[in-house]
Chains A and B, each alone.
Chain A
Amino acid sequence: MTEKKNYHADKNGMYGRFGGAYIPEMLYPNIENLKSVYKDIIQSDAFQKQYKSLLKDYVGRPSPLYFATRLSEKYGTNIYLKREDLNHTGAHKINNTVGQILIAKHMGKKRIIAETGAGQHGVATATACALMGMQCVVYMGEVDIQRQAPNVARMKMLGAEVIAATSGSRTLKDATNEALRDWICNPEDTFYLIGSVVGPHPYPDMVACLQAVISEEIKQQIKEKTDKDYPDYVIACVGGGSNAAGSFYHFLDDERVKLVAVEASGMGVDSGETAATIALGDLGIIHGSLTYLMQSDDGQITEPYSISAGLDYPGIGPQHAHLFDTNRAQFLSATDQEALDAALQLTQLEGIIPALESAHALAALDKMNFDKNESVVITLSGRGDKDMATYMDRFGF
């Protein structure tokens, strides 16, 4: 008998050799505090009641599991789309922010800080803060502020203060650094609301727990729609990896379910213009977590590239690194062009315009072979409204 594998964090936040909390002493008390309370809070009846009620009536869950007829015909299999794009604010990000804001409230915190790249997590955070009447500060790279003006306006309208990160490459990783610096300077009243399964323990586990509702619902819904109680495949895109972590969560121990994560390879894995962290496979520490990341030979973290702003993070959540190492999940990558093609195909076959991030997951269909009796779940993490400028530019509409 083989030993049962563990795909979850141990008490130190390690997933195999990945994870942990590589943080300066200034953050230690805050991280320790959060570590000691997050599980109890999440498991408490009070939290569960509030969280479930918000997911249902505010976010609009459960999100449908939609059988994509024409897409299924094309690939000769049974494709189901998990419609996170139909959530309030248009993506899966809100599952996490309403959860963390409740945790922050339980901890008596008054002020919320967050980092954002394209602005999706910033908007989801500002939304949850408006809902709960909490002060909200969002750090966003100066470069991203310029290219994501509508999301900046949304955050401001929601009452958030948006602060430009002007250091380094002035994008997501620098916004994350600024948020961590803010937390160092405001250790008492502030809660750092991280948007993905990255950062020091307990963030990767906490965010995965809050996104786990995605796979919890898939499990129920697939039973209702097929003659099996599990899907053969679950496919999701990964940047930091929160929608993938949530989509995989309740299937991790069910080896019948093949898990597929799709990274953004930008202009190509070896082009130097990529965000395919796993494909490049270099071990190191980023934002407090030991994981695969993109770095120079001297250990300087390099700037990733993808057409999709939500996937261009130079690291990946430590759980995903572990799923890769243990072969529990298969990691594929899709280029900008492959994602664009997949987005257009879904739009014209099913009448759904996907976010560019989610389009990377859809692009996996051309890279895999399925049986006609198999069921394939693809998480559609967000809708494409925010990407219309890119689509217009690339397709000439």
Chain B
Amino acid sequence: MKRLQQLLTDKKNICSVYYTAGYPNLDDTMTILQSLEEGGADLVELGMPFSDPLADGPTIQASSEQALENGMSINKLFEQIKNMRQSIRIPVVLMGYFNPVFKYDIEKFVERCREVGVDGVIIPDLPFDEYHEKYQTLFEDAGLANIFLITPQTSNERIRLIDDNSKGFIYVVSSASVTGAKKDVEKEQIDYFNRVNSLNLKAPRLIGFGISNRSTFETACQHASGAIIGSAFVKLLGEYGANAEKIKEFIEEVKGGLM
């Protein structure tokens, strides 16, 4: 969690990249992570594939399906990343749906995250109340930031509640959509970002969903601490595989002059 908090305190224009573990090949996980760090990504969200990813669009669905077919599981993922802190300095956050974590055993999951040096988790379908009542102490004692999502439909009151209980960043879902859905940032989204900013929240925000290129990344960075790119990067992996050169080019292109 310290790595994550440090990054969020020190840096603007944070470029966070999502990819699905085990895609396109089972053993690409560390290669891609290494390439992302070298290519200039500031933060990585490592997706734990699930059979029923209901908040995801076709690109991430397809990558999850392929990853599962390749044999990916939470257990396998922890094996792959068990020594990642020997080479990876950027914060790493695990992202996935609640059922596989629940089945794995939440306490065991949190303990493994701590052991391998995972900084936070994003579990979109773990409800706030349930987290608050049952798991918040467990997560925080293990130095694990639980990252909540907010959407254009989230009330100010609820955003404040989420802010009060956030140790990492708040994931600002840019519009009413699943991942990979939109191309441009529209006026009403800007109004929503401004509304969120006017709340003077403690937790920094990163904007995700619909961030796919330099233009959308730059717009998002004007309204938050940074942005998250998912589907566009997963598409690149689908096309070129775990290709260090292509990954570096992609990050450079997205970040442009923003450091």
A→B interface (CB under 8 Å): 12, 20-26, 28-30, 167-168, 173-174, 177, 180-181, 184-188, 283-288, 295, 297-302
Q: Name which of B36-44, B101-109, B195-203 contacts chain A.
A: B101-109
The answer to whether A25 and B173 touch across the interface, beta carbons within 8 angstroms, is yes
A-chain residues with CB within 8 Å of residue B50 when the two chains form the complex = 299-300
For residue A137, give the distance in angstroms from its CB to the closest CB of chain B.
16
Q: Which among B52, B104, B124 is the interface contact of A173 at CB below 8 angstroms?
A: B52
B-chain residues with CB within 8 Å of residue A188 when the two chains form the complex = 176
Q: Which among B62, B101, B148 is the interface contact of A25 at CB below 8 angstroms?
A: B148
Q: Which among A21, A173, A181, A285 is the interface contact of B178 at CB below 8 angstroms?
A: A181
Determine the residue in chain A with the shortest Cβ distance to B175. Answer: A185
B125-138: contact bitstring with A at CB < 8 Å (1 yes, 0 no)? 11111100000000
CA distance A177 to B58 in the complex (A): 12
CA distance A24 to B61 in the complex (A): 16
Q: Which among A22, A283, A287 is the interface contact of B127 at CB below 8 angstroms?
A: A22
A-chain residues with CB within 8 Å of residue B74 when the two chains form the complex = 298-299
CA distance A87 to B100 in the complex (A): 41
Q: Which of A29, A180, A186 has the most CB of B within 10 A?
A: A29
A-chain residues with CB within 8 Å of residue B53 when the two chains form the complex = 177
The answer to whether A29 and B103 touch across the interface, beta carbons within 8 angstroms, is no
> Besides A26-B151, A285-B99, A297-B103, 11 other CB < 8 A contacts?
A21-B127, A23-B125, A24-B124, A25-B173, A29-B153, A167-B62, A180-B54, A184-B55, A185-B181, A299-B100, A299-B102
| In the complex, B65 has a CB within 8 A of chain A | yes
Q: Which among A25, A26, A28, A167 is the interface contact of B65 at CB below 8 angstroms?
A: A167
Q: Which among B102, B127, B130, B176 is the interface contact of A284 at CB below 8 angstroms?
A: B102
CA distance A12 to B130 in the complex (A): 11
| In the complex, B98 has a CB within 8 A of chain A | yes
CA distance A242 to B116 in the complex (A): 45
The answer to whether A284 and B103 touch across the interface, beta carbons within 8 angstroms, is yes
A-chain residues with CB within 8 Å of residue B224 when the two chains form the complex = none
The answer to whether B155 and A29 touch across the interface, beta carbons within 8 angstroms, is yes
| In the complex, B185 has a CB within 8 A of chain A | no
A-chain residues with CB within 8 Å of residue B148 when the two chains form the complex = 25
> Given the interface contacts A25-B149, A25-B151, does A168 sit within 8 Å of B52 by beta carbon?
yes
A-chain residues with CB within 8 Å of residue B194 when the two chains form the complex = none
Q: Which among A21, A30, A177, A187 is the interface contact of B52 at CB below 8 angstroms?
A: A177
